[in-house]
Chain A
Amino acid sequence: MPEAAADPALRAASLSVAYGERWALRELTVAVDPGGTLAVIGPNGAGKSTLLRVVATLLRPTAGSIAVLGCELPRQAWRLRGRIGYLGHSALLYRELGAVENLRFHARLFGLPGDGAERIHELLERVGLAHRAGTRVGEMSAGMVQRLAVCRAVLHEPELLVLDEPLANLDPAATEIVTPLLGPAPGRTRVLVTHDVDAALAGADRVLALARDGSVAFEREAAAVDRETARAIYADARVAAV
């Protein structure tokens, strides 16, 4: 008998999200295998961040179905708590607390042993913030805050990383530092929103392109997407904006 295929880590069928009367996502259907990476591209306002918030259990879908790591949302969202690493537009860090204090707060909420002291030290070393361990987030540059937010997102070594433009505010050196923390790893599935088409095609297994109205422009294996096709998504949006 042939082996049964593993359940997808992410499966959405006819997923739609509306804010009031405006549809942010329309009839999205996609599946990502465990350990795979889905790159989501599309112009501003296409619903990329909305999709990530639904996947991260932070937003309820309006219609359709979605299952993440085998849990149907929103009914089983509680089962996903602690299994997702979310890096969105907000760093989810308190400005009045220092770098270590912020990470320790999250480590305690995630139940890391020893308040995650070793892991926090290791991460701060890796992102080059060990010497800023006591610096308050409100006194950090945007790039430093982003590096700390990366530490926060991977602190509990999540099964699913949900990343919304994770390299925003980072210079090339910082990008090089944090990329290994956010990159593919055994047993880790990733959903990645990026405007960097080259990075999306290089680092993903599948590419989901959203059109400006929130509908799916295309969804296919990354190897089957050429650069021009991907860039055309933005060109269409430019035409629409004009």
Chain B
Amino acid sequence: MSESSESAASAPSTRSAVATILAKDLRIELRTLQSVPSMVLFSTTIYVIFRFGLDRTRLDGALAAGVLLVTVLFAALLAINRLFVAEREQGGFEAIRLAPVDGTALFFAKAGALLVYLLALELVALPIFWLFFLDGAAGLLPLLPVLVLLDLAFAVTGALISPIATNSTARDLIGPLILLPLLVPPMIAASAAGQRLLEAGGPSYDRYGTWLGVLGLYDLIFLLIGWAVFDFLLED
């Protein structure tokens, strides 16, 4: 062994490991464009289907919130299904377990990557939704915190469940089967907040803070669960 590297190598912090894995994931996504473009295309297609399926050019209230949030949910599933595929097929799981880093770094990095994908999706999909279905944009600004907290819920639960699904033979089936029931609470909270913000007469802030609190609490709980159990999920 050479003296220099032997003496100077030291285990990186979890934060540094998260940044390393996240940067790698975003670089690969920028090169392959595997997730975000598919999510955008899917969302746009769903909006077109809703527009003609419902035979309505304007939506408001619960229906508007439902169309928006369900579309984001299923677009998120596309990314979640692919989230750990490279780690399984190209040895990322083994690489992390051999390195002197906490396995939860992978969880936080994957949740971070998924959050970035969802925010990128909404950057495109939200204006399209507005053009297709809304009369005004007044409700969209207060809707942003709701969407960000919902995205975080998708990200943490997705990063927690995806490795389980990825390591099973029925990946495409297992992921949604476990994930969708877990996502019912944040979907209820986001829909309840969203339907009032997208009312025809303008946004209503009735219990807005409560629903944001529910979403934030859900995110916190699943972040803590992921932090506590993810290392065990990496084991054979």
Residues of A bordering B, CB below 8 Å:
56-60, 74, 81-82, 84, 86, 88, 90-97, 101, 105-106, 108-113, 116, 119, 156-157, 185-188
Contact = CB atoms under 8 A, between A and B. Distances in A.
A113 B91 contact: no
A90 B97 contact: no
Given A58-B98, A96-B86, A111-B10, 5 more contacts: A82-B98, A109-B96, A111-B9, A111-B100, A187-B1
A96 B32 contact: yes
A82 B94 contact: no
Contacts of A88: 91, 94
Nearest to B6: A157
A181 to B, nearest CB: 12
Contact of B24 (A97, A110, A185): A97
A101 B6 CA distance: 22
Contact of A57 (B4, B20, B97): B97
B95 interface: yes
B17 A109 contact: yes
A111 B98 contact: no
B236 interface: yes
Q: Identify whether the interface residues of B are mostly helix, strand, loop, or mixed.
A: helix
A96 B28 contact: yes
B54 interface: no
Contacts of B236: 58-60
Contacts of B169: none
Given A86-B98, A93-B91, A109 B12 contact: yes
B228 interface: no
B1 A82 contact: no
B11 interface: yes
Contacts of B100: 81-82, 109-111
Contacts of B24: 94, 97, 105
Contacts of A111: 9-12, 16, 100
Given A111-B9, A119-B5, A188-B1, A60 B235 contact: yes
24 contacts: A57-B98, A58-B97, A58-B98, A58-B236, A74-B235, A81-B11, A82-B9, A82-B99, A88-B91, A88-B94, A91-B90, A92-B91, A92-B95, A93-B90, A93-B91, A94-B92, A95-B90, A96-B86, A109-B96, A112-B5, A112-B8, A157-B1, A157-B2, A188-B1
B101 A109 contact: yes
B15 interface: no
With most chain B CB atoms within 10 A of its CB, the pick from A57, A97, A108 is A108
Contacts of A108: 12, 16-17, 20
With most chain B CB atoms within 10 A of its CB, the pick from A58, A95, A110, A157 is A110
Interface string B62-96: 00000000000000000000000010001110111
A102 B28 CA distance: 11
B20 A90 contact: no
A12 B175 CA distance: 38
A157 B101 CA distance: 17
Contacts of A101: 27
Contacts of B97: 57-58, 81
A56 B17 CA distance: 21
A101 B27 CA distance: 10
Contacts of A112: 5, 8-9
A157 B94 contact: no
B31 interface: yes
Nearest to A122: B2
Contact of B27 (A58, A97, A109, A110): A97
